Amino acid sequence: MIYVILFIFSYAFTYYIRKVAIKKSLVDIPNERSSHTTPTPHGGGIAIAITWFIGISYLYYINDINNSLYFSLLVGVIISVVSYLDDLYELSAKVRLVTQFFVAMLGLWLLDGLQQIDLLFFSIENQIITNVFALFTIVWFINLYNFLDGIDGYAGSEAIFLGLAAFLLFGGSHFLVLIFAVLGFLIWNWHKAKIFMGDVGSTLLGYNIAVFTIYYANIDSLNLWIWITLFGLFWFDATITLLKRYINGGKLSKAHKKHAYQRLVQSGWSHNKVVIFSILVNFLLFCFIYYISNVFIAFLLSISLLYVVIKYIDKKKSFN
């Protein structure tokens, strides 16, 4: 019953935010870097954030979530507030980055750090190395989720996929909270979007995925590779795009439209078709993890699949 309530709350609150945004002219105006063509309200991620924090707090109240996981996830309030202020006032990159590192360090501390990194033939247990890796992983996940929130339904459907996949693999009521918190918003966001998520939603989702990755890696070090595989569609696109722009001498801090999903839209695909394609790719990634017992083989297969996908997109719309 609680999940139905969370879904209804998320749906209704998104509707309310949309009305307020229209009234106060809080809309994204299309420009040369946009993948949409009409002014659209933003800030719908507030509904995701508030529903999410209510949901996990309820789980904490009924003792249905690990304490360290709960408090680490609760740190996401900070990133949500700062990101919402950024949506409204465009904070400097320095303020955003300092906030992200502070949140990453606090969340990591509450999880007691990352205990080890399993690299097939050996494990890294040096706490300086593992925690520096974890720190930058959290910051990278926050930013890349924000980078990949650019077309209708894309970021929301990814969060629901990860929630469903994780629930099937690990269990955990917090994944159901994530699914229904995002689903209420997604109904308003899927093509054509009536409201956008904004940084307030995308940065929180990226932070949550990073926390889940580290928390479950501490339960079993191989889980790190499971999460990296499941999140492959986003991090592979963002990382390859960043590397290509660096090699081509592009200014990395400058906004652009060179991510694979953006180039698919430029090639003539509708937002809806791109999202459905992403769901298919995610389904295959989940199948690798679910049906292949060796997580490293599953990871290598996922990298191969994602490489083929990127090459396919390159042929449809070149990077340059």
Q: Let me know: does 197 contact 150? Beta carbons within 8 Å.
A: no
pLDDT tens sequence across 79-113: 999 999 988 888 888 999 999 999 999 999 999 99
Residue 271: Cβ within 10 Å count: 21
Residue 220 identity (one-letter amino acid): D
Question: Within a 13 Å sphere around the CA of 182, how many CA atoms are in the beta-carbon half?
Answer: 25
Which residues partner with 117 through β-bridges? 124
pLDDT tens sequence across 139-196: 999 999 988 887 889 999 999 999 999 999 999 999 999 999 999 999 999 878 899 8
DSSP 8-state symbol, 159: H
pLDDT tens sequence across 291-311: 999 999 999 999 999 999 999
Rounded distance between C-alpha atoms, residue 136 and residue 275, angstroms = 28
Q: For the chain, which residues make up each domain, given as ranges?
A: 2-316
Q: Let me know: does 141 contact 202? Beta carbons within 8 Å.
A: no
Rounded distance between C-alpha atoms, residue 293 and residue 295, angstroms = 6
Q: Let me know: does 84 contact 47? Beta carbons within 8 Å.
A: no
pLDDT tens sequence across 197-253: 989 999 999 999 999 999 999 999 999 999 999 999 999 998 998 888 888 777 766
pLDDT confidence of 37, banded at 50, 70, 90?
A: low
CB-neighbour burial class of residue 178 (10 A; exposed 0-12, middle 13-18, buried 19+): buried
Rounded distance between C-alpha atoms, residue 94 and residue 84, angstroms = 16
For residue 172, what pLDDT is reported? Answer: 93
List Cβ neighbours of 126 (8 Å cut-off, separation of 6 or more): none
